[in-house]
Amino acid sequence: MFRESQRDKLAKSKPQADGFTLIEVLAGILMSTAFVLITTQAIAISAVFRVRAQRESEALMKIQENLEDIKFDSLKALSATCGDAATQSTGYGQALINSITTPADSVITLLNKSYSMTRTLAVYNTSPYNAITISYSVADPTSGNVIADLYTEMIPDAAFECN
């Protein structure tokens, strides 16, 4: 029949654990590490996509500049005659191709990396043979990956002067 003091009663009713366990601390560290790793990976991926998009945009601007030069060349006087041309080589399309002075293949630099730009010209295979097809391709010369391409058709301005 021992009489317990009030202090002993309070000590028994008070919980003994007053902090985090080792497992809880390790789980918190693992969760924060996983969050940081996932966030870092997302930032790196977004940077890669941003650079790729900027290169593609600059490649399309270079293509557009070259196409504008061809449009300027189409304003020059052409030696073809009006009327339906008998062959592809006698129409306004071929005359335009012959008058183009802008270089066809070139190396361009996009964000400190060199790429090859290729242009292909052809006379559209329909009488009166006054339209040409123009296709561009900008590719990485080492891997061959195409980062930008464009296809368009053009009629020389001189062809509209014919009735």
Long-range CB contacts (within 8 A, 24+) of 48-51: 51/111
Q: What is the pTM of this model?
A: 0.65
Structure tokens at 7: 């202090």
Instruction: Kindly indicate the confidence band of residue 136, based on its pLDDT and cuts at 50, 70 and 90.
Output: very high
Long-range CB contacts (within 8 A, 24+) of 80-84: 80/158, 82/161, 82/162, 82/163, 83/128, 83/162, 84/127, 84/128
Instruction: Kindly indicate the confidence band of residue 1, based on its pLDDT and cuts at 50, 70 and 90.
Output: very low
Structure tokens at 58: 């600059």
Other Cβ atoms within 10 Å of 112 Cβ, number = 5
Distances (CA, A) of 18 to 9, 15, 21: 18, 8, 9
- Read off the pLDDT of residues 43-96 as tens digits, 9 standing for 90 and up: 999 999 998 899 899 999 988 888 888 777 666 645 545 555 666 676 777 777
- Read off the pLDDT of residues 146-163 as tens digits, 9 standing for 90 and up: 999 999 888 776 666 665
Q: How high is the pLDDT of residue 158?
A: 61
Instruction: Kindly indicate the confidence band of residue 105, based on its pLDDT and cuts at 50, 70 and 90.
Output: low
Q: To the nearest whole percent, how much of the chain has pLDDT over 70? A: 71
Q: How high is the pLDDT of residue 69?
A: 81
8-state DSSP, 100: -
